[in-house]
């Protein structure tokens, strides 16, 4: 995927769901993975031409794993001229050593988001951009259906009243395969996740399940995403007259 194509879809998502307003300061959550680095590159590029002017910074919540090297990501942020902050935590120790969680992802995500929110407020941000893409939307809905017995997924825009922060998801119209192509084409400095649970989670199981279903029924993933947009899920109403992707 070329940068122009990425920006076209990001801008459509931003416009469809009114993700950016004049004067926003947006923190991009950087895990070091392909999705968050693609989002940072897209948001920085969007700054140059989007009619509503906004500020940008990047935040990594360091979980405490010793083998996570963020040197290349620091350099990437310097090249983009984006302020970058690393928040040091003991989340990995708490999850894996102290509590010895058998299903660590939920608690880890909650603690990581909490640390990210605090850092964003300290940096005077009013919004946080998450790098969830189209596949994440569908995967989350399927997980909710299988494990919780309800039709639910996250919204394009979510207001966190406790923190007075708004979460936005500008990669909503981007498929994971396109993210992979963009990262490879642009040689973004992806840092491999050191988490021992990586690739061995309920989410990974659901991703593999949907991938298999999509192989047997081509286009089913796209139709599932369309069903989410056209359904009555809170926050998914599009203000524009079309929900077609560019």
pLDDT tens per residue across span 61-85: 999 888 888 999 999 999 999 999 9
Q: What per-residue confidence (pLDDT) applies to 239? A: 66
Q: What per-residue confidence (pLDDT) applies to 187? A: 94
pLDDT at 200 exceeding the cut of 80: no
* 28 and 171 Cβ atoms separated by less than 8 Å: no
Helix (H, G, I), strand (E, B) or coil at 232: coil
pLDDT at 244 exceeding the cut of 50: no
Mean pLDDT of 23-27: 98
Q: What per-residue confidence (pLDDT) applies to 196? A: 79
User: Which two structure tokens, joined as six digits, stand for 110?
Assistant: 């909650």
* 77 and 28 Cβ atoms separated by less than 8 Å: no
pLDDT at 45 exceeding the cut of 80: yes
Q: What per-residue confidence (pLDDT) applies to 8? A: 97
What is the overall mean pLDDT for the chain? Answer: 92
99 confidence band (pLDDT: 50, 70, 90)? confident
What region, left, alpha or beta, does residue 29 occupy, with left being phi > 0 and alpha being psi -120 to 50 degrees? beta
CA distances from 62 to 35, 110, 193 (A): 17, 14, 11
Mean pLDDT of 143-148: 94
Residue identified by tokens 């083998």 is 67
pTM: 0.92
211 confidence band (pLDDT: 50, 70, 90)? very high
Mean pLDDT of 106-124: 95
CATH number 1.10.10.60 is the correct assignment for the domain at 3-230: no
pLDDT at 197 exceeding the cut of 80: no
DSSP state letters, 40-72: HHHHHHHHTT-SS--EEEEEEEE---TT---HH
Strand partners, 83: 57
241 confidence band (pLDDT: 50, 70, 90)? very low
Strand partners, 67: none
Strands 83-88 and 127-129: unpaired
Mean pLDDT of 191-207: 83
* 19 and 156 Cβ atoms separated by less than 8 Å: yes
């Amino acid at each position: 995927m070329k940068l122009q194509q990425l920006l076209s879809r990001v801008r459509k998502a931003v416009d469809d769901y009114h993700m950016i307003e004049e004067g926003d300061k947006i923190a991009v959550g950087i895990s070091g993975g392909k999705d968050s680095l693609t989002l940072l590159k897209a948001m920085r590029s969007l700054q140059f031409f989007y009619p509503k002017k906004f500020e940008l910074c990047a935040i990594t919540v360091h979980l405490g794993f010793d083998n996570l090297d963020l040197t290349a990501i620091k350099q990437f942020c310097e090249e983009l001229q984006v302020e970058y902050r690393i928040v040091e935590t003991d989340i990995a120790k708490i999850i894996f050593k102290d509590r010895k969680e058998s299903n660590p992802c939920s608690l880890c995500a909650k603690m990581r988001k909490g640390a990210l929110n605090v850092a964003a407020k300290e940096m005077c941000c009013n919004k946080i951009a998450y790098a969830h893409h189209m596949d994440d939307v569908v995967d989350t809905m399927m997980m909710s259906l299988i494990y919780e017995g309800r039709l639910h997924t996250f919204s394009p825009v979510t207001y966190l009243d406790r923190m007075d922060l708004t979460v936005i998801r500008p990669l909503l119209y981007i498929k994971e395969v396109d993210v992979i192509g963009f990262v490879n084409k642009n040689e973004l400095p992806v840092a491999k996740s050191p988490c021992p649970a990586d690739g061995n989670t309920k989410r990974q199981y659901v991703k593999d399940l949907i991938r298999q279903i999509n192989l047997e029924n081509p286009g089913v993933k796209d139709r599932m995403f369309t069903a989410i947009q056209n359904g009555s899920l809170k926050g998914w109403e599009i203000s524009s007259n079309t929900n077609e992707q560019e």
